Structure formats: C-alpha cells, structure tokens
C-alpha cells in the first residue's frame, strides 16, 4: 500500500511539473498572439486577411494596366528614330571644307531615310532616299552607306 501511495505521489509530482511546463508554453503562445494582434484596433484576423486579399487584387489590376501601357510604349517606340549617322565630306576637290553631308535616320528595324547634300560653288543639291531593312532601292553613295552604318552601330551600343 505504501508503494502505491509513493507511486501515486510520484505521478502527481510529474503531472505538476508537466502542468508548469504547459503553463509556460501557453504564456509564450499568448504573448506571440498578443504581438500578432497588436495594432489591429480590435479588427479580426479574418478582416485583416480580407484587406490583404483586396490589396493584392488591386495590385494585380495595376500590374495588368502597367503591362498594357508597356506594350503600347514598346509599339510606339518601335517606330521612333533610334539610330543617327552623320558623315561630312568634300564632294569636289576645288571647294573648301567639308560642306557636303549625309545623314541617316533609322528605326530599330533599320527603316528610315538618308538625307544627302552635295555642296558645289555654283549649286547645291539635296537628296532624300528611303531606307528599308538597312538598304535602299536607290543607288547609295559611299558616304550615305557610311552614315547608315553609323546609325546601325549606334543602335547596337
């Protein structure tokens, strides 16, 4: 009988120690819960999650709008001048200075125009030739080709 009393006493002592451990863990869990709920002004966890979900949906809508704007900008940017090449040269040996020039203006697809001005003492001429995919249906001078190559090189930098 004394053995049973001693055994029951040991079990009670173990249960008491276990209750203390459980109580300490419960206090830590309560502190964590209070820290999590701090600043919520009495709002429920469900309310916080609903707000976060609504914010996420709003951000998704903004991202879709931004993607649409980026696509529009890319489409508009494709037709803009992205490469410029300028070559000055002396068309005739008896004139002073490099007063003649060739200017190439190209898009990202190497479409555009090349302008040329040939300066002479008696007269000057101005030419405009269309460029498609980096070449022209019209015969191009060496200076015009050089201007086109400069414009293409500018786009690859």
**Residue-wise DSSP of 54-77:** HHHHHHHHHHHHHHHHHHHHHHHH
State residue 24's pLDDT score.
94
- Rounded to two decimals, what is the model's pTM? 0.57
> 147, 104 in Cβ contact below 8 A?
yes
- Over residues 1-8, the mean pLDDT reads 85
How confident is the model at residue 29, as a pLDDT?
92
> Is 118 strand, coil or helix?
strand
* Residues 89, 93, 94, 96, Cα dihedral to 10°: 30
From the list 139, 143, 120, the residue with the least C-alpha distance to 129 is 139
What pLDDT, on the 0 to 100 scale, is given for residue 97? 77
| Angle made by CA atoms 48, 51, 55, in degrees to the nearest 5 | 140
Place of tokens 């190559």: 149
**pLDDT surpassing 70 at residue 48:** yes
**What is the Cα–Cα distance from 86 to 65, expressed in whole angstroms?**
40
Does position 42 have pLDDT exceeding 60, yes or no? no
Looking at per-residue pLDDT, the higher value among 139 and 47 belongs to 139
pLDDT in tens, 77-132: 878 888 999 999 988 877 667 889 999 999 988 899 999 999 887 888 999 999 99
pLDDT in tens, 16-28: 999 999 999 999 9
């Amino acid at each position: 009988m004394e053995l049973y009393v001693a055994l029951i006493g040991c079990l009670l002592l173990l249960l008491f120690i276990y209750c203390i451990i459980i109580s300490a863990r419960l206090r830590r869990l309560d502190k964590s819960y209070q820290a999590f709920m701090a600043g919520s002004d009495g709002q429920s966890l469900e309310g916080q999650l609903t707000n976060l979900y609504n914010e996420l949906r709003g951000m998704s809508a903004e991202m879709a709008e931004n993607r649409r704007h980026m696509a529009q900008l890319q489409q508009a940017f494709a037709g803009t001048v992205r490469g410029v090449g300028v070559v000055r040269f002396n068309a005739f040996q008896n004139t002073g200075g490099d007063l003649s020039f060739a200017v190439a203006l190209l898009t990202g697809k190497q479409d555009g125009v090349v302008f040329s001005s040939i300066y002479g003492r008696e007269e000057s001429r101005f030419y405009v030739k269309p460029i498609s995919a980096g070449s022209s249906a019209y015969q191009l001078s060496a200076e015009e080709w050089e201007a086109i190559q400069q414009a293409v090189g500018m786009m690859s930098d």
